[in-house]
Structure 1
Amino acid sequence: MNPKRKKAYSSYLKHIGTFLIFIIIFNSCQDEKAEDIEYINKHTKIIAHRGYWNIKGSTENSISSLTNAQMRGFYGSEFDVFITSDGIPVISHEKYINKMTIEDTPYKNIKNYILRNGEILPTLERYLIVGAKHKETKLILEIKPLSTKDKEDDAVKIIRELVGNYNMDEQVNYISFSLNICTKMRKLNPSAKIFYTNGDLAPSRVKELGLSGISYNYSIFNKNINWIKEAKNLGLMTNVWVVNDVELM
């Protein structure tokens, strides 16, 4: 990496918190003469992973992590969604709350769960309400895989309807490790931006399925060094996670 560009990246990471986990969207970052923060902002879109949470008073997948990302001008804020047994989407990375499996538990049994920063477990509806206040911040909604195809299909329908009710189809992007979830969402919302995350499909196959792009761990791209170029040539968007290190970036 050009030493001046490395210094710019280092300063940028220090400014927003070097311990924050990122998803980076690369957009044809090829100009070797550009070395300043303006160049970084223009060509690299940064998404706060589970929100911007690694600061006092916040925690992962909380409302505060979303508002922190909004206030600091991130391209987007990523968060994880599970569905309760009675069809309420809640924000959680883990599938268990108080040793109860979310997909097998009614919402009333977990609605008062307190996050590490003192907030109550947020619902997707609450997230959308807060997210809509800053339409420039993309909401990167990860739909977590469930135990059966039927449950996944129901979850996609519920989430799609809720997002549509709040007129947020343009602001919300979807990611999932479940190919079934991705393809189901594509059927329900052909214009949605949907990214497959599991890392086991080549860009050509993702293109065939009609998805918007790939969102893979950096190790996948290290093993398949032509996939970013291939994806770009196919018109797919590319996300890479998790990137906290300047050299890795």
Structure 2
Amino acid sequence: MKDVMIFAHRGSKGTRPENTMAAFMEAEKSGADGIELDVHLTSDGVPVIIHDETLDRTTTSTGRVEKLTLADIKEVDAGVKFSGEYSGERIPTLKEFFDWIYNKNLLINVELKNDVVAYKELEEKVIRLIREYNLEQRTILSSFNHESIRKLKALAPDIERALLFENLPDDYERLLTEAKEAGFHPKAKGLTAEIVSAAKKQGYKVRPWIANKPEDMKRLAEYGVDVIMTDFPALAVATLRQ
């Protein structure tokens, strides 16, 4: 179990406002090995870190990210809905996150949120930033949009890519064989030891999302996964390392 890596899902989402610098800093403090985050594009083409297509759930404002400028985005409070203690927390840009993490010993999983909105040049902009900070060897790019994964492969074959799955199709082994990618990111619920073994036989790193209870973390570790993604990285560290 001690060999399984721990990725903080949207930062320390269970204890801090998700996808904010407060969540990312807490993830580092917890002892996590990596941080998973989500990226959309503003109307003026800036990659920003937020999970949903809209501001409604996590901020004090409303509206679609694709329709708002970076200036609009920076006006909203992304922390107070979680707790008044985090009032004033802002939606970070991907560049701001890279400014913070580039000299830290953490892996990065950037999920491109282009399975609902077809953001123009999202792949190019994310790759450009990764190269600007020389983070090619520490970054994993993932998406539910497997066409986007193919585009990333053509644009940046040197940066690891991972296939995200919500509901695993019956022919998942065929899909993995044809894709020839490095990462397999299935939903943890319903995952079996047989599925993990089948993916690993094809050379995939298996990183399920998400496990928040100690018994689920232990079960996935026993299946032989490479990474556990969790909203509670400190709990995962205590469960699997101590």
User: SS of the counterpart of 2:162?
Assistant: strand
1:130 match: 100
Rounded to whole Å, the distance in 2 between the matches of 1:226 and 1:54 is 29
The one-letter code matched in structure 1 to 2:125 is I
Higher relative contact order (CA 8 A, sep 6+): 2
Given candidates 20, 34, 49, the residue that maps to 1:62 is 20
How many percent identity over aligned positions? 23
Structure-to-structure mapping, 1:217-232, within 5 angstroms: 217-222=187-192, 226-232=194-200
Distance 1:125 1:191 in 2: 20
Check the 8 A contact 2:187/2:209 in 1, yes or no. yes
RMSD value, Cα: 1.9
Residue 83 (structure 1) aligned to one of 35, 41, 64? 41
**Residue identity opposite 1:96 in structure 2:** T
**Could you tell me how far 1:94 is from its partner in structure 2?**
1.4
d(CA) in 1 for partners of 2:206, 2:174: 13
Q: Deviations over 1:210-248 (max 9, x none)?
A: 3112101123424xx532111111111111121122333
Task: State which structure, 1 or 2, has the greater radius of gyration over its C-alpha atoms.
Answer: 1
Residue 241 of structure 1 aligns to a residue whose secondary structure is: coil
CA contact (8 A) 1:53 1:68 kept: no
The corresponding residue for 2:150 is 183
1:59 Cα deviation after fit: 1.2
The alignment partner of 2:215 has SS state of coil
* Residues in 2 aligned to 1:142 and 1:51: alpha-carbon distance in whole angstroms: 13
CA distance, structure 1, for counterparts of residue 62 and residue 147 of structure 2 = 27
User: Unmatched 5+ residue regions in structure 1?
Assistant: 1-39
- Cα distance, 1:193–1:207 mapped onto 2, change above 3 Å: farther
After superposition, residues 145-164 of structure 1 pair within 5 angstroms as 145-147=114-116, 149=118, 151=119, 154-164=121-131
Q: CA deviation at 1:142?
A: 0.8
Does structure 1 conserve the Cα–Cα contact (< 8 Å) formed by 2:162 and 2:184?
yes
Return the alpha-carbon distance in structure 2 between the equivalents of residues 159 and 99 of structure 1. Answer: 25
> Mapping of 1:191-210 within 5 angstroms?
191-198=158-165, 199-200=168-169, 202-210=172-180
Compared with structure 1, are the counterparts of its residues 146 and 244 closer, same or farther at alpha carbon in structure 2 (3 Å cutoff)? closer
Note the 1:30-109 alignment, pairs <5 A. 40-41=1-2, 43-55=3-15, 58-97=16-55, 98-109=61-72
C-alpha contact (below 8 Å) 1:52/1:68 kept by paired residues: yes
TM-score where L is the length of structure 1: 0.75
* Structure 1 consecutive aligned stretches of length 4 or more whose deviation exceeds 4 Å: 146-149
Shifted more, 204-213 versus 110-119: the winner is 204-213
On the 8 A contact 2:115/2:143 being kept in 1, the answer is no
Output the TM-score relative to the length of structure 2.
0.77
CA contact (8 A) 1:73 1:137 kept: no
Gapped regions of structure 2 (runs ≥ 5): 56-60, 80-85, 220-242
Aligned position for 1:216: 186
Corresponding pairs, count: 202
| TM-superposed deviation, 1:173 | 1.1
Determine the C-alpha separation between the residues in 2 that align with 1:220 and 1:159: 31
